[in-house]
Structure 1
Amino acid sequence: MFVLRTHRRRSTRLAGGLAATALALGLAGGAPALAQTAAVAAPAAAPKLSRAQVDALLATPDKVVFIDLRRPDEISALGTLPVYLNIPISELDRFLAYIPRDRQVVTVSNHAGRAAKGAAILADKGFAVAGVVGVENYAEEGGALYGRKVVTPAIAGVVKADTRVEVIREGFAGTEGPIALADGSVLFTEGRADRIVKLGADGSVSTYLEHIGVPNALALSARDELLAVQTAPAAIAVLQPAPKVLAAKFAGKPFGRPNDFALARSGDIYFSDPGAPQQPGAAPATPNPAFYWLDHKAKVHLVASDIARPNGVALSPDEKTLYLANTAGEYLIAFAVQPDGSLAGRHDFAKLAGFRQTANGPSSGADGIVVDKDGRVYVATSAGIEVFAPAGQPLGVITLPKQPQNLAFGGKDHAFLYAVGRGSAYRIATQTAGVNRPGK
């Protein structure tokens, strides 16, 4: 039996004489198209290819064939390249006739060990071997892998066990700041490309806005204004319908590099500024780092300047509690929102499972935050998506193929949890829904 596999559709099986696991052709769209380079020559021992070399060969599908020598369960667990023939190394001699001889061959395994053995076998049989690839090494260099099956644990009221984490697309030039629109579509920022991307409820991907001051986070006001945290220049601004800057300085000094914000129904805005490195010859920057409150009368107030790396910001459904992530901290921070919009009662809300002592200092990777309609709190950290009860008890962690940076509820009835980060966008069907309100 011959098996034609794609990473986004069910297998299509065609009658034939091969065993189902013997040969598979995997296809997936969305691989970044990079500039074509010269093919890598095959010495006696095939070279181990870098991500750049692999991507260049992927851009020449008429000249190369990738042969993944791993078992199907390994491919499902770790992922693979977007286009490949799957012939387990134990079956390689048996299926040589199915490997085209008019193309260069690249063999694939986890760390390139089996790939090197397979390359030697093929070279001995007269195939032109361009090199070998270890998918884990390729991913460590930032390469996008496909076909990995990632599922959630059971978290009561949030997700069923083994709910699939859907990979919408990888290879974006940065992914941050998602928000949902009324029709269920989701916007997010693609920072290095200076644009906003729209993920349609139908799965489509399109450019929504571009050349808009390198936004990092987005929010919608009750007046249907699209707001953004801009980083070049640093500001809190309205993007649509009429662009205008709401705040760019505190105490006469420019913001460093604002990161994330939360917009209340009242119009009050709470935003983090981890700061930017001081540039030689530049004017002194605003206190670094800092967390601010921009009230609905357009006055900026300093809330805190002693948080190592203030990051994600979110409000509870009733907007009586504000949550703040500290990327360098062990705890998610919470404040009580006062009737006038000011913040008080700062305290540690929940301990983060992602916290570690690293070579660069303490880090939890705590980043974007979102809440659901029942008040549960979701935090993107180095552990994945950490979920907490409204009182701060840990409920579970949803791991993703890549570390998430920010979160939003969207899709039909806002019942899908979207996660973006490290150039990737994911979607998870949930048993709950986001908060039905403007803002963020």
Structure 2
Amino acid sequence: MAVLAVLLGVAGAGSGRLQSSEVAVAATGLRFTEGPAVHPDGYLVFSDIPADTIYALRDAGPEVFRRPSGQANGLVFDGGGRLLACEHANRRVSRTEPDGTVTPLATHYQGKRLNSPNDLVVRSDGAVYFTDPPYGVRPEDRELPFAGVYRVGTDGAITLLADDFVKPNGLAFSPDETVLYVADTDRGWLRAFDVRADGTLADGRVFARTEPSGGLRPDGLKVDVRGNVYVAGADGIVVFDSEGRPLETIALPERPANLVFGGPEGRTLYITARSEVYSVIVRFAGALGAARRAD
């Protein structure tokens, strides 16, 4: 693998209202990248699922952050700077302490093993929200008859928030954390839920609808400070405004899986896409995550 300072001619700088630079390759020579997250110190970490490795991307290039990773998928840092991971192979959500100790956060719901936790986000109150589709789990190995969205409270209690998804995937909060957006990949839907005062969800609705076959097939997603929703899809990063209207597509050479805002001003979009990691500068910064709020 390598770090490249290569600009790609897939979209010109300033070609849209939001994209402000060319797309650049940040790392290459990987197998299947996912789960980008920005450490409080500013560097990027990401998963390479088949390599069973979480990498940290520093100036000298990718270096091993954690191996084995449990074939980690989604990653996020909490307010204490600890890495939370959705471990596909271990069917759990974990927390990696600063000394490298790995602590399980969620493994079962009502005595039954989780399916395959996929992505997660931390709210400012410290609660962890995650999706649990059945990717990679044989039907005979499933213990839960549904694919859910869950909340793990600061007391460790696991609450099922929604169970009517086909395959819930990426998720992100609105800037004020009153709305949770969740990708329902196989249906081609982006769904939105109001977040109650107690952290549970209400008023689920379809925020944006696409054709599930050959269409967007939404995967990872993030939100900027203006409330625009950035979604990894078949053609690149598709951006919707807060009303669900499409604004722009940031084209990429490979199909993206996930994304995160980072950089000195929070306007660098890091995108995991198959064998490479890309970066592009956009007009608005990302909404603050838990790790950045703690700075």
TM-score using structure 2 length: 0.89
Alignment of 1:230-309 (within 5 A): 230-241=87-98, 242-275=101-134, 276-278=136-138, 282=141, 284-309=142-167
Q: Are 2:61 and 1:209 equivalent residues in the alignment?
A: no
Provide closer, same or farther for how the CA distance between residues 147 and 419 of structure 1 changes in structure 2, counting only shifts above 3 A.
Answer: closer
Match of 1:357 among 213, 227, 230: 213
Which structure shows the bigger proportion of residues in strand conformation? 2
Structure 2 Cα separation of the partners of residues 382 and 227 of structure 1: 27
Q: Which residue is 2:16 aligned to?
A: 155
Q: Return the offset for 1:378.
A: 0.2
Instruction: Select the residue among 297, 308, 316 that pairs with 2:174.
Output: 316
* 2:57 aligned with 1:199: yes
Q: CA deviation at 1:226?
A: 1.3
Aligned: 1:383 with 2:235: yes
2:273 maps to 421
User: What SS is found at the alignment partner of 2:126?
Assistant: coil
- Is the CA contact (8 Å cut-off) linking 2:122 and 2:289 kept in structure 1? no
Matched, 1:406 2:258: yes
Q: Matches of 2:271 and 2:60 in 1, distance apart? A: 14
1:428 deviates by 0.4
Q: Distance in 1 between matches of 2:268 and 2:257?
A: 17
Contact 1:309/1:326 (8 A) holds in 2: yes
Identity of matched residues, %:
33
Structure that is richer in helix per residue = 1
2:158 and 2:197 mapped to 1: Cα distance? Answer: 17
- Looking at structure 2, the residues matched to 433 and 364 of structure 1 have their Cα atoms a distance apart, in angstroms, of 23
Say whether residues 1:222 and 2:74 are aligned partners: no
CA distance, structure 2, for counterparts of residue 369 and residue 401 of structure 1? 18
> Aligned partners of 2:129, 2:289: CA distance in 1, in Å?
17
Tell me if structure 1 keeps the 8 A contact 2:124–2:290: yes
Give, as a single letter, the amino acid of the residue that structure 1 aligns with 2:115.
G
Please report how far the alpha carbon of residue 184 of structure 1 lies from its aligned counterpart in structure 2 after TM superposition.
Answer: 2.7
Quick one: distance in 1 between partners of 2:95 and 2:7? 39
Structure with more relative contact order (C-alpha pairs < 8 Å, separation 6 or more): 2
Letter in structure 1 aligned against 2:88: T
Paired residue type of 2:251: T
Specify the structure having the higher radius of gyration (Cα).
1
Structure 1 residue 243: deviation in Å?
Answer: 2.2
Q: Can you give the 5+ residue segments of structure 2 that lack an aligned partner in the other structure?
A: none
Instruction: Decide whether aligned partners of structure 1 residues 303 and 437 sit closer, same or farther in structure 2, where only a CA change above 3 A counts.
Output: closer
Q: Tell me if structure 2 keeps the 8 A contact 1:278–1:285.
A: no
Alpha-carbon distance change, 150 to 293 in structure 1, aligned in 2, over 3 angstroms = same
CA distance in 1: counterparts of 2:232 and 2:95, whole angstroms: 26
| Residues 236 and 249 in structure 2, CA contact (< 8 A), matched pair in contact too | yes
Q: Report SS of the residue matched to 1:223.
A: coil
Cα distance, 1:147 vs. partner?
8.0
Q: CA offsets per residue over residues 94-142 of structure 1, 9 Å max, x none? A: xxxxxxxxxxxxxxxxxxxxxxxxxxxxxxxxxxxxxxxxxxxxxxxxx
The match for 2:204 is 346
287 and 267 in structure 1: CA distance in 2 versus 1, 3 angstrom threshold: farther
Quote the offset at 1:166 in angstroms. Answer: 0.5
User: How big is each residue's C-alpha offset from its partner over 1:397-428, in whole Å with a ceiling of 9 and x where there is no partner?
Assistant: 11100010000011222221111021211000
- Report the Cα distance in structure 2 between the residues aligned to 1:436 and 1:366, rounded to whole angstroms: 22
- Within 1, Cα distance between the matches of 2:264 and 2:222? 17
AA aligned opposite 2:233: T
Structure 1 residue runs of 4+, over 3 Å off? 152-155
Give the conservation status (yes or no) of the 8 Å contact 1:167–1:427.
Answer: yes
In the alignment, residue 65 of structure 2 is paired with which amino acid? Answer: Y
Give the deviation of 1:170 after TM superposition.
2.6
Give the match's secondary structure for 2:265: helix
CA distance in 2, matches of 1:233, 1:277: 11
The residue identity in structure 2 corresponding to 1:389 is D
Deviation larger for 214-223 or 146-155: 146-155
Q: Which amino acid aligns with 2:112?
A: K
Corresponding letter in the other structure for 2:133: P
Query: For the residues of structure 2 that align with 1:414 and 1:254, how far apart are their CA atoms?
Result: 37
Letter matched to residue 110 of structure 2:
A
**TM-score, normalising length from structure 1?**
0.61
